[in-house]
Structure 1
Amino acid sequence: MKAIVVNEPGPPEVLRLEEVEKPAPGTGEVLVKVALAGVNYADVGMRAGMMGGPHAMDLPYTPGFEVAGTVAAVGEGVEGVTEGDRVAAVLPSGGYAEYGVADAKSVVKVPEGVGFSDASALLVQGLTAYGVLHDSARVQQGDGVLVMAAGGGVGTLAVQLAKLAGAAPVIAVAGGREKLNLALSLGADHAFDYTGEGWIKDVMDATGGRGVDVALESVGGELGAGAYDCLAPLGRLVTFGAAGGEGLRPPDMWQLNMKGQTVSGYGGPWLRPGAAANAREAISGYLRSGDLKVVGGAAFPLEAASEAHRAIEGRRTTGKVLLRVD
């Protein structure tokens, strides 16, 4: 079968299309014939060798940890999923390929009437957007919510989920007019450009000088510090990424104490029993009702995986970036 293989860390050019052996599902596993593979910023970091520890991959490897497609085969001991089912699944790796193997517990049936591209909201970015809002930030009706990088895959979902939770105002911050207009079309009450000066003042003015109750931060560096400066007393900032290449700087601990603020990491749904299932159920309902829109970003053919990575690195994308496999 065809697959993208990384033989050494480096620039996007290390993503090479190769012919590899088709995998077979083991006990408790499902083989998925991939229709679409999600492309995430974490894929970019892994490919470049920026992510160590549990996120480091043994070479060579095939990137991609989320796919949507059709069940091609099931291993022993698998229940509730059969050959031919339309599914979305999270993989440890191997998604940039014609076939991928997933643990059956990570496989979700795609609801009737939901396309494969929308099913991506049931996976990494959807779980992240829902989790940072509800599990980490514990958003409440009437909370003012700031969404950084609001034009991306997580950001476009977070803007909508914040509105669905009754947050007000929802303030989107992103780079460029196109992304700001997109956020406004998805329900953001205000949208400000963080590539220019004055966006922090704009956020504060939009909240009457009080600041936001919740800030969702995935950029890091100076922009992450700016998001912290927008917090209201008792505000909660959740950090879940560092797309700018630099992690969130430690906040002023005295200010944190005096204002009763909280800065926390997300960590992922697997740290909270039942969180992933709860999020998928809620997101599935929103997709079926039409209350949640998955913004279709660029879709690249499998052999153009390097182009997809360049687009993400250059911040030229909005919404969900996908690889078309079949």
Structure 2
Amino acid sequence: MGTEELVEVVLPGKVEPEGLEVRHGAVPTAGPGQVVIRMEATGVSFAEQQMRRGRYYDQPAFPFVPGYDLVGTVIATGEGVQPDLAGTRVAALLKVGGWASHVLVDAADVVPVPDGVGAAEAETVVLNGITAWQMLHRKARVRAGQTVLVHGANGGVGTVLVQLAHAAGVKVIGTASVRHHEALRARGVVPVDYRSGDVAARVRELAPGGVDAVFDHVGGRSVTDSWRLLAPGGTLVSYGSASTRDAEGSKQWPVLKLLGRVWVWNALPNRRRAYFYNVWAGRALAKNRFRTRLHADLTQLFAALRSGDVTAEVAARLPLVRAAEAMRLAESGTIAGKVVLTP
């Protein structure tokens, strides 16, 4: 480790991407129960796009290092950690802190990445894959032969979600702009242009009896349409409020409104269910259960990558110091998959 230096990208406040700051410092030291990971890949997710606007509902106070997840190699272990973890490639879900060359993580929170899976490929299924897997299998509990609607089917989460649904024998209708329709058709998805007129009417044409599940990251009015599109016994999984990314006012209000709607819908005498999915749910109350579930689900995702059930969609790879450019690209709406930052 001798000559290594810490390089990190700091979000100093509400800034344009060009306002991100690159800082240098000393590589952190592993304390008891911790490991130091040398980052090999970290991602630009929708959360960072919200955070730079001060719109992510539980982001820390500025300044901080963003970066929701990472993949890298353990280079140092603290007291009480198995020393043979050093030299292992691992993945970790962090919420913040991943946009750095070296990151300190609790050893209990790392998941080994199997041989034969590259760092950038593995990175595409950490946050996005866990979100997709848990919504599909733990919330909606999809079964072969069902039909689901995926909003933003070309996005980071959507890309993994449609592949996992396909692997489970589920028919997928996916919203995206026209430029992504050909790629979606190649994946077996029936594409719907979210910019053209009435999306709900088009989905009803494709699934007259309703769909068995909807995965909605848009929030706002979209989530009400999503609820109405459900077949009896169907499940709505709302997992964000992308439509309020550029809004003003309270960052908590859009999420509280979604939670309120979900509560009301579930209180109605009907056979449909609604959930607001948050990847961190349950961690505060049952940390070990949360870790066990994360470990199990991420291990399944890495297996899906190896078997080819999921193909990693790396939209672009850029070095960490070009995080501003990576953020612009991720926000452009022109890409499919995940923008990955490397050392």
TM-score by length of 1: 0.90
Question: Partner residue of 1:51?
Answer: 56
C-alpha contact 2:265 2:273 (8 A) present in aligned 1: no
Contact kept, 8 Å, 1:121 with 1:283, in 2: the verdict is: no
Residue number among 325, 329, 343 corresponding to 1:307 in the alignment? 325
1:142-171 per-residue CA deviation (whole Å, 9 max, x = no partner) reads: 22111111101110100011111221x211
Q: Which digits, 9 at most, give the CA deviation of each residue in 1:194-227, with x for residues without a partner?
A: 01113222211112x1110100111112333332
Q: Cα gap change, 1:62/1:153 in structure 2, threshold over 3 Å: closer, same or farther?
A: same
Which of 20, 34, 44 aligns to 1:29? It is: 34
Q: 2:20 aligns with which of 3, 7, 15?
A: 15
Q: SS in structure 2 opposite 1:31?
A: strand
Kept in 2: contact 1:131–1:275 (CA 8 A): no
Q: Percent identity?
A: 34
2:310 is matched with which residue: 288, 292, 295?
Answer: 292
Counterpart of 1:143 (choices 141, 146, 150) is 146
Judging changes above 3 Å, is the alpha-carbon distance between structure 1 residues 268 and 92 closer, same or farther for their aligned structure 2 residues?
closer
Identify the residue that residue 111 of structure 2 maps to in structure 1.
Answer: 108
Residue 111 of structure 1, CA deviation: 0.8
Partner of residue 174, structure 2? 172
How many residue pairs get aligned? The number is: 319
**2:198 maps to 1:198:** yes
- The equivalent of 1:317 in structure 2 is 335
CA distance, structure 1, for counterparts of residue 262 and residue 307 of structure 2: 40
CA pair 187-269 structure 1, distance change in 2 beyond 3 A:
farther
Q: How does 1:1-326 map to 2 (within 5 A)?
A: 1-52=6-57, 55-79=58-82, 81-167=84-170, 169-174=171-176, 176-188=177-189, 190-207=190-207, 209-245=208-244, 247=254, 250=261, 257=268, 259-268=270-279, 271=282, 273=289, 274-325=292-343
- Over 3 Å counting, the alpha-carbon distance change for 1:32 and 1:311 in structure 2 is same
Distance 2:23 2:115 in 1: 34
Please give the alpha-carbon distance, in whole angstroms, between the structure 2 residues aligned to 1:58 and 1:29: 24
User: Secondary structure at the residue paired with 1:244?
Assistant: helix
Per the alignment, do residues 149 and 122 of structure 1 end up closer, same or farther by CA in structure 2, a change over 3 Å counting? Answer: closer
| CA pair 291-25 structure 1, distance change in 2 beyond 3 A | same
Q: CA RMSD in A?
A: 2.3
Using a 3 Å threshold, how does the CA distance of structure 1 residues 69 and 180 change in structure 2: closer, same or farther?
A: same
Deviating above 6 A after TM superposition, structure 1's stretches of 4 or more consecutive aligned residues are none
Task: Compare 218-227 and 194-203 and name the one that shifted more.
Answer: 218-227
Q: Provide the TM-score with structure 2 as the length reference.
A: 0.85
The separation in 2 between residues aligned to 1:15 and 1:9, in whole angstroms, is: 10
What corresponds to 2:248 in structure 1? none
Structure 2 unpaired stretches of 5+ = 1-5, 246-253
Whole-angstrom distance in 2 between the partners of 1:60 and 1:252: 35
More displaced 10-residue stretch of structure 1: 42-51 or 79-88: 79-88
> 5+ residue gaps in structure 1?
none
1:32·1:99 contact (CA, 8 Å) conserved in 2? Answer: yes
Distance 1:286 1:5, change over 3 A: same
Amino acid corresponding to residue 264 of structure 1 in structure 2: Y
Counterpart Cα distance in 1 of 2:263 and 2:293 = 31
Cα deviations by residue, 1:96-144 (Å, 9 ceiling, x for unpaired): 1111111112212211111111212442111000001111111122221
- 3-state secondary structure, aligned to 2:278: coil
1:227-264 deviation digits (Å, cap 9, x = unpaired): 22321122110011112217476379689846522111
**Secondary structure of the residue that 1:321 maps to in structure 2?**
strand
> What whole-Å deviation, never above 9, does each CA across 1:178-206 have from its counterpart, x for those lacking one?
32222222232x11110111322221111
Q: Residues 314 and 229 of structure 1: is their aligned pair in 2 closer, same or farther, counting only changes over 3 Å? A: farther
Q: Taking structure 1 as reference, are residues 252 and 46 closer, same or farther at Cα in structure 2, changes over 3 Å only?
A: closer
1:47-70 CA deviation, whole Å, 9 max, x = no partner?
221124xx2213321111211122
